[in-house]
């Protein structure tokens, strides 16, 4: 499935209107870039639901285990369409396992090593998010990361993130990702391939 990675309403709205995207993924950095904080998650969720978003991903935060647990529990109460994002840390995986035991949905994020696939599976995660672009930036092969994760197990679902271009999106899907999340910029680029646009313009000119 295709998701949109963003929180800026003016960027999300025209893309959601296409009906092509299954949901919205957010994190504290994305919220901050849009001038939002964790306190704005509920209003963004309500706005997204009004536009047909089926799944909304929100990240729990906390300076220690109790704080992370409180944040994650609050997000989990927002509805069955909310997936709680937790980093692949000891604390995140611990809280994640607690949530899945109570029936909540989680995604393990900030993933850079294939072994974290097995850890997320043990936590009962529905999704796991390898950071493809960031891993590559740091000297690790992001696409190979996805490929090795897919070879370990098909659950949780691999939702590839930190994708820098339509080409990288295609590579992640070919490597075994079941889902991808695209920034609005990458989504727009994917929707407007230059050769496709040229062909469409040619057809329109002939059809006049």
What residues are annotated to the active site?
85
Which is nearest to 60 in space by CA: 89, 27, 35, 90? Answer: 27
DSSP 8-state assignment for residue 130: E
User: Cβ neighbours of residue 151 under 8 Å, at least 6 residues apart?
Assistant: 114, 176
The two counts, helices (H) then strands (E), for the chain are: 11, 8
User: Cβ neighbours of residue 133 under 8 Å, at least 6 residues apart?
Assistant: 142, 162, 163, 164, 168
Angstrom CA distances, 131 to 16, 137, 159, 163, 177, stand at 23, 10, 9, 8, 12
């Amino acid at each position: 499935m295709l998701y949109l990675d963003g929180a800026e309403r003016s960027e999300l709205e025209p893309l959601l209107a296409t009906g092509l995207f299954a949901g919205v993924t957010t994190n504290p950095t994305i919220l901050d870039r849009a001038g939002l904080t964790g306190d704005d998650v509920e209003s963004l969720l309500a706005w997204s639901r009004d536009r047909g978003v089926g799944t909304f991903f929100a990240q729990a935060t906390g300076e220690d285990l109790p704080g992370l647990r409180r944040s994650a529990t609050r997000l989990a109460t927002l509805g069955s369409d909310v997936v709680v994002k937790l980093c692949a840390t000891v604390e995140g995986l611990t809280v994640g396992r607690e949530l899945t035991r109570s029936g909540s949905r989680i995604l393990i994020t900030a993933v850079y090593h294939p072994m974290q696939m097995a850890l997320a599976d043990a936590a009962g995660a529905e999704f796991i998010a390898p950071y493809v672009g960031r891993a590559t930036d740091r000297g690790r092969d992001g696409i190979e990361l996805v490929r090795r994760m897919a070879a370990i197990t098909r659950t949780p679902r691999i939702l590839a993130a930190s994708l820098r271009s339509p080409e990288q999106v295609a590579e992640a899907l070919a490597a075994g990702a079941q889902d991808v999340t695209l920034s609005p910029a990458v989504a727009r680029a994917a929707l407007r391939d230059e050769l496709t646009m040229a062909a469409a313009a040619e057809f329109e000119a002939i059809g006049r």
